Amino acid sequence: MMSKLYNAPVQVELNSQQRPVRLRWYNKWYAITCCTPREEDQHWWSKLRNPEPLRYRCECEEGMICDLYFSDPPGVWILERIFD
């Protein structure tokens, strides 16, 4: 599976478990149907020192598959990549 790297801030709505349920990309809202934490994407060395943010693999109703993470600071959600 190929992907394109964006690393762009996006608006995200969360459910009661604090997982993404909708994201806004280029002024369009995408409903997220499946959101899975991706802990295996973290490098082992970053877990020892400065933990990387937890990434989520999200599938949207519109067919988009992407990776999101919460960057703190500055306290924003980042659309890391979109898969083809």
Instruction: Evaluate if residue 22 carries a pLDDT over 80.
Output: yes
What is the pLDDT at residue 41? 58
Provide φ and ψ at 52, rounded to 5°.
-75, 155
C-alpha to C-alpha distance for 44 and 24, rounded to whole angstroms? 31
What is the pLDDT at residue 66? 97
> Which sequence spans correspond to the domains of the chain?
3-83
Confidence of residue 38 (pLDDT cuts 50, 70, 90): confident
Q: Kindly report, residue by residue over 41-67, the tens digit of the pLDDT.
A: 556 655 566 667 889 999 999 999 999
What is the pLDDT at residue 45? 58
pTM (two decimals)? 0.84
What is the pLDDT at residue 74? 83
